[in-house]
Structure 1
Amino acid sequence: MPEKIDAFLAAAGWADATRRPLAGDASARRYERLARPSGGRAVLMISPAADEISRFSRIGRWLREAGFSAPEIFAEDAAAGLMLLEDLGDDLLSRLLHDDPPREGEIYAFVTDFLLDLHRLPAPEFVAPLDGSALAELVELTVEHYPTLSQTAAEAVPGQIAALYAGLSPVPPVLCLRDFHAENALWLPERTGTARLGLLDFQDAVAAHPAYDLVSALQDVRRTVSPAVAARERARYAAARGLDPADFDRAYALLGAQRALRIQGVFARLAKLYGKPHYLDLMPRNWANLMHNLAHPALADLAATVTAAFPAPDAALIARLKQEAA
């Protein structure tokens, strides 16, 4: 792989750049920041999956053509799993929120404005639908990797999610970036409008219910958004789209529960199979999001099945999962 990277950078005109690692994410991808002696920076994405490069490229170009700030692509080699990208900087929303907590309301209002702009456009035809059956299939990962109290109850959860989704009021699907949260978005103050939001990690984008990315942003597993801000932005989004508030809240709770369930499985798998036990420490916050969503009256039956199926991630369970990971 080092030889392929050297050849790729030489062909792209970046052979003289210095390279240093950038923090990774909950995937097998790696990133490096490149700096040329004469000036100029870029980010090198290294992915073991060629299709990730192709999907990132296609969706990124669609976003840029629509006026959004996905990074420009300088060079790509899907077969080698390599891509050279525009460096959008270090001002992650998560860092801004950490350094200046009073800006939370302003920043999440801007996130909602971004989603409203994005969702005014029809989803591109080349992205897969995230419908009821797909939502159910994603939760099967949790049935496989997260500890269970009752395997029978656990195996019933995906089907219940699909049935509940089928009962939602129909809403045209929109483009959802899927992993949309404060560590995958950057603040670009020199740009204008919603282009001030720099976008990362969108290769898994889908056509989904418009509540999906909103719940992803407001129920961030890495930080707690204040309930008042979350409630305000949820109501503001529904009003701006002309959606029935009760219907939207039901969809928001269901999609939030589905996401939180899947994330429990993702974190368990990352620890067990990929040697990343630090993700287990995020489980309690994610579980709190799950319980909050399951408290919606429309999800009472699902709540009963989930609590019969899966144990809460208390200190003892997390310690056991860490030991198994080691």
Structure 2
Amino acid sequence: MADRETTAHDFLAQCGWAGADCWPLAGDASFRHYQRLSLDGRRAVLMDAPPETEDVRPFALIARHLLGLDLSAPEILAEDAVNGFLLLEDFGDDTFTRVLAQTPEAEAGLYELAVDVLADLHRRPTADVVPRGLETYNDAKLLEEACLLTDWYLPAITGHNIDAAVRDGFIAAWRNGFAAVHGQPRTLVLRDYHVDNLIWLDGRKGIARCGLLDFQDAVAGPAAYDLMSLLEDARRNISADLKRLMLARYAAAIPELARPGPDRDAFKTAFAVLAAQRHAKVIGIFTRLCLRDGKADYLIHIPRVWRLLEASLGEPMLAPVAAWIDRHIPPDLRAASPGTEAAQ
């Protein structure tokens, strides 16, 4: 740790922040750590991402790309990719989550702003919004993530590893659904687009008031993903009325979806399939965070995510997935918590 601190101090000295006051900021589900810096009236945020577990280059790449699209990502003030440090513009503490807790009546306006950011991004040509060489959200990646449910949650609640043939059946069950997803227009998918990762930037105008964070895992993929991530939040209950209004707002802003028809139907199917995939992934991730990383706080959200997953499985294209889950994770197992015993 002392060596890491020395390397961080050297980085700050090299970019003109030697002697800055610093204090820790809340972390996230990764191995990254953040500190707020203050020096001579200036403020910034230090991202400390140990290179043995993290890579700052994707964050820097997407941040600069989003800034080039006139969206509000943090400016990269200094970078040391080898040692895993970024010095970032400080967006402050007003995450949408915090604003909603303090001002519940702001809910509709904040969600409208978040939807408008996505609509602006998704109306642009793919070549403009997807950086060259960006990874594609293909079947292999979608399945790798969905299998976090079988590889972490299922063993945690049953006490034994899943049989390979049973796991193969889970994988096969997704194929038709993913085929529908890949028929959607491709755009930049930020991958973790929800109120915890959006910042209210007072003083800016239009969609620039929405600050963007945690986009280092961005991929090229279907537009429905980020909208689904926003409206089917693993950590926050969203009313059916608000979801309906935001879906309608988004559809009205996208020419291909503005009227009922095959394009809108295909988008709804993709939304449901991607919702099921994400919720399966998140249940697995929250389990892994508990058992591997000792972060049990995430377990409280698993019942909500199961409800969201069960609702999304009503999509006919997901009938094979629904049947697999009913057989191998019946409702009594879904009610079980991975707990912390297995981690001890």
TM category, shorter: over 0.9
Identity %: 41
- Alpha-carbon distance in structure 2 between the residues aligned to 1:289 and 1:172: 25
Q: How far does residue 134 in structure 1 lie from its aligned partner after superposition?
A: 1.9
- Alpha-carbon distance in structure 1 between the residues aligned to 2:276 and 2:102: 30
Give the paired residue count. 324
Counterpart selection for 2:247 from 234, 239, 242: 234
SS at match of 2:208: helix
Counterpart selection for 2:185 from 172, 192, 211: 172
SS at match of 1:198: strand
Partner of 2:266: 247
Q: Structure 1: any 5+ residue segments left out of the alignment? A: none
- Alpha-carbon distance in structure 2 between the residues aligned to 1:276 and 1:195: 33
Q: Structure 2: any 5+ residue segments left out of the alignment? A: 258-262
Aligned Cα root-mean-square deviation (Å): 2.0
Farther off after superposition, 240-249 or 11-20 = 240-249
The question of 1:296 aligning with 2:296 is answered no
Partner of 2:59: 56
- Alpha-carbon distance in structure 1 between the residues aligned to 2:213 and 2:342: 32
Query: C-alpha offsets along residues 117-148 of structure 1, whole Å, 9 cap, x if unaligned?
Result: 11123222231110233211222222211125
Counterpart selection for 1:41 from 24, 29, 43: 43
Correspondences of 1:237-316 after superposition (within 5 Å): 237-241=250-254, 242-243=256-257, 244-310=263-329
The question of 1:105 aligning with 2:105 is answered no
Contact 1:135 1:162 in 2 (8 A): no
TM-score normalised to structure 2 length = 0.89
SS at match of 1:88: coil
Contact 2:56 2:84 in 1 (8 A): yes
Correspondences of 1:1-326 after superposition (within 5 Å): 1-36=4-39, 38-49=40-51, 52-121=55-124, 122=126, 123-147=130-154, 151=163, 152-168=165-181, 170-241=183-254, 242-243=256-257, 244-310=263-329, 317-318=336-337, 320-326=338-344
SS at match of 1:25: coil
Q: How far does residue 47 in structure 1 lie from its aligned partner after superposition?
A: 0.7
Contact 2:303 2:335 in 1 (8 A): no
TM-score normalised to structure 1 length = 0.93
Q: How far does residue 274 in structure 1 lie from its aligned partner after superposition?
A: 0.8
Contact 2:181 2:274 in 1 (8 A): no
Q: 1:161 to 1:239 in 2, by over 3 A?
A: farther
Q: 1:308 to 1:49 in 2, by over 3 A?
A: farther
The residue type equivalent to 1:40 in the other structure is R
Q: How far does residue 287 in structure 1 lie from its aligned partner after superposition?
A: 0.9
